[in-house]
Amino acid sequence: MKDISVMICDDSALMRNLIGRIIDEADGLVLAGKAMNGKFLLDKIPRLNPDIILLDLEMPEMNGIEFLKERKRLNIGIPVVILSSIAVRGARVTMDALSLGASDFILKPSGSISEDIHVVRDRIVATLQAYGKKSGKGSVPHQANVNTKQFESSLPEKLKLDKNPPVSSSIPREKGGNIDIVAIGISTGGPNALRLVLADIDPDFPVPIVIVQHMPAGFTTEFAKSLDRICPLDVKEVTDGDVLAKGRIFIAPGNFHIEVVKKKLATVIHTSSADLVNGHRPSADVLFSSVAESYGGNSLAVIMTGMGRDGASEIGTIYAKGGITVGQDEESSIVYGMPKVAAERGFIEYVVSINDMAATLNKLVNEKR
């Protein structure tokens, strides 16, 4: 497999050189070229033809947002990952970039750039490799136009339970019941994947949806607002003590775990700053564990695109209690990490493409009400 060619666009010569060195030293990546603003980038793309672009947002003459608008107008299909210090101060600008077609974002290091750039080295390399591998394959997901009300009475063949899951026959399982909650764990590739899924969720969706998206502190408020603008249901960032209600979607705040807890009169969401789990806070495993305890077999858990294994353990607890479990498929995942681990452990009933995810959730929940 050929190396993934990366184009850097940043007005800082220091940042261009530092990131250029990271790319040069990384296996599987090669530096295609550099540009100091969006205008120079547009001029160089036809000649250099990179597999992926690493884009600053705050630049003179043509900034990142202006470039993304031109990219969209010119139908340039090269994936773009945002790398900008403005993201720390202006999360909304980053969400605007995602809405204009950027694939993901990485925070520039704080403090002394020359010292702290190495803190995010692994994230830069892993993200570029993930999106770069998807470019040119035709496998980056697109939004599906599914009329759920006309869906067949049984799930399509590709949505049925895998007949030969690796170890599921050895896992004892209780009988499930009606679905009263949907819990989703997602990481790399998540912002745009959630935009696709939630835009097509049923306006009459009868249960609450609670989501852990791995995202830095300071971004989830604007992320929830951006989802709320395109989703037929109300979307909000969790605040401690929120009461679960049907037709509402709750996004875990950056740097806080969330747990659902049943009280006498209602089910509430609690936040905590307990230790990282699987290297994350919020953690999908923490959410899934609380869902298994509070709802057992009356729950539906979804594990989607993301690096690592967060959520892959505790989705098994939901599975064992009789809850329905869904995993995103490899082809439509930007990184087939979290759902792969869960599937290999035999915890996933339905393996689903991103294009079918909303229709699948709509159907499974409504069938179990």
From the number of C-beta atoms within 10 Å of its C-beta (0-12, 13-18, 19+), residue 203 rates as exposed
Instruction: Let me know if 187 is a catalytic residue.
Output: yes
Name the phi and psi angles at 249, rounded to 5: -120, 130
Q: How far apart are CA 103 and CA 7, in angstroms?
A: 15
From the number of C-beta atoms within 10 Å of its C-beta (0-12, 13-18, 19+), residue 282 rates as buried
Nearest CA among 292, 298, 301, 81 for reference residue 189:
81
Of 5, 135, 187, 226, which residue is the catalytic one?
Answer: 187
Of 103, 214, 280, 294, which residue is the catalytic one?
Answer: 214
Contacts with 217 (C-beta within 8 Å, 6 or more apart), sequence order: 253, 254, 255
160: left (phi over 0), alpha (psi -120 to 50) or beta: beta
Q: How far apart are CA 364 and CA 326, in angstroms?
A: 10
Dihedral (Cα; 145, 150, 152, 154), 10-degree rounding: 90
Q: Tell me, what amino acid is at 331?
A: E
Angle of the 190-199 helix axis to the 91-99 helix axis, nearest 10: 60
What angle is formed at CA 97 by the lines to CA 94 and CA 98, rounded to 5 degrees? 95
Sheet order of strands, 242-243 included: 242-243, 267-272, 257-262
Of 310, 329, 332, 356, which residue is the catalytic one?
Answer: 310
Token pair 């505790």 in the structure block, residue: 314
Q: How far apart are CA 298 and CA 322, in angstroms?
A: 8
Instruction: Let me know if 242 is a catalytic residue.
Output: no
Q: How far apart are CA 84 and CA 93, in angstroms?
A: 10
Token pair 């995103």 in the structure block, residue: 328
Residues 203, 187, 323, 361, CA torsion sign: positive
Token pair 């747990």 in the structure block, residue: 259
The catalytic site residues sit at: 187, 214, 310
